[in-house]
Every structure is written in C-alpha cells, then in structure tokens.
Amino acid sequence: MATDALQQLLGRLFPAGCHLVKAIYFDKPAGSNWLVAWHQDLMVNVSQRVDSPGFGPWTSKAEGVSVQPPVAVLENVCTIRLHLDDCDASNGALKVVPGSHRHGVLFAADIAARTAGATGCAVPAGGAMLMRPLLLHASNRSTSRRPRRVIHLEFSSVELPAGLHWRERLQRFSSGVE
C-alpha cells in the first residue's frame, strides 16, 4: 500500500486517480559499473502483442513484450524515483535536459545536439525525483565507492486501447479527494 505522502503526491499529479504501471530496482554498486547514454524512455510493458494503431515498434524479451505507444500515452506517465542512497555526480546521478520532454519523441541522431543544457540531479537518501519518460536523461559511471540504489516507479491514469493491458499494472490510486 502507498504511504500517505505518496498518496498525496499522486493525488496532485493525477487528480482523477492513477495506477502503477512499472517498477524497477536499480543498483549501481561500485564493483559493477556502467554508464547510460542519453535517451528517452519510450517503451511500455504490455501483457501481450495486440496490433493497435499508433503502437509500435514492438520488442519481445525474456521478461515480456514492450511497445512504443503514442506520445499521448507517454505524456501521461510520471516516474517517481525513490533514492535509497545519497546520489550525486560521483556515484552516477541522473543528468537531465530540463524541458526536453516538451519536444515529443526525438530521433536518436538529434539527441546529442540537445544535451548542452544538461544538469545533474543530486538526490539525498530518502529523497524522490520526479520525471516524465520523454525527458532526455543519462548517467555516468560511478567514480565513488558509494552505491546508488533507486526504486523507479511509473504511474499513469491512461487505460490502454482494447486488447492491450499494462503488464505490471497494480491497483488504482485515488486522489484522496472525496
């Protein structure tokens, strides 16, 4: 069940209510390190492939089927990243390009030219970072011995078209307004 603070935040973001559509645990320990190139989060996880106008391309991996939905679906998703550790540039904090989510889906070839205004997002342990999937973001390798653990939760109020279902959908969270 969501905490009161999370319920209040979700109520402000989605006054008519929403549901959890994806949950990921990120662990960037000092001994296992990587960088993440500039990108947008364009794919959503669905229970099965059902061809529907505006949905595609599709991918199928061991964990299931994903698809790029229409921009309107992506614009309705909000990610809340809950930080379990202090996170700064030394241990791979996200870098973002403020306002880039307002430009829709970007071609890969155009992304590098749009990263000049990037800023780092330091977040203390216990803090939260909110972002939209279309926000350009990346992270560097860690240069610290400190871990960077994050619980990444994606919420949406959108119901997918007939036949398509969010693979990880959980209960509907109400706005708390009666």
CA distance 132 to 86: 22
Residue 113's alpha-carbon distances to 4, 100, 105, 109, 133, in angstroms, are 41, 12, 14, 8, 19
Range of the domain at 22: 4-173
Q: Is 31 helix (H, G, I), strand (E, B) or coil?
A: coil
Residue 71 lies in a domain: yes
Residue 132 lies in a domain: yes
pLDDT at 177: 42
pLDDT at 34: 82
pLDDT at 174: 63
Residue count (the chain): 178
- Tell me the pLDDT of the chain (178 aa) as tens digits: 468 888 889 999 999 999 999 999 999 887 667 889 999 999 999 999 999 999 999 999 999 999 999 999 999 999 999 999 999 999 989 999 999 999 999 999 999 999 999 999 999 999 999 999 999 999 998 888 889 999 999 999 999 998 999 999 987 766 554 3
Which residues have a Cβ under 8 Å from the Cβ of 32 and sit 6 or more positions away?
none
What total number of domains does the chain contain? Answer: 1
Which residues have a Cβ under 8 Å from the Cβ of 45 and sit 6 or more positions away?
21, 22, 63, 64, 65, 66, 166, 167, 168
Q: CA 114, 117, 118: angle at the middle one, nearest 5?
A: 95
Contact indicator for 69, 55 with CB cutoff of 8 Å: yes
Residue 147 lies in a domain: yes
Residue 178 lies in a domain: no
Residue 95's alpha-carbon distances to 35, 118, 141, in angstroms, are 11, 6, 12
pLDDT at 1: 47
What CATH number did the domain enclosing 104 receive? 2.60.120.620
Residue 86 lies in a domain: yes
Which residues have a Cβ under 8 Å from the Cβ of 169 and sit 6 or more positions away?
19, 20, 21
Residue 161 lies in a domain: yes
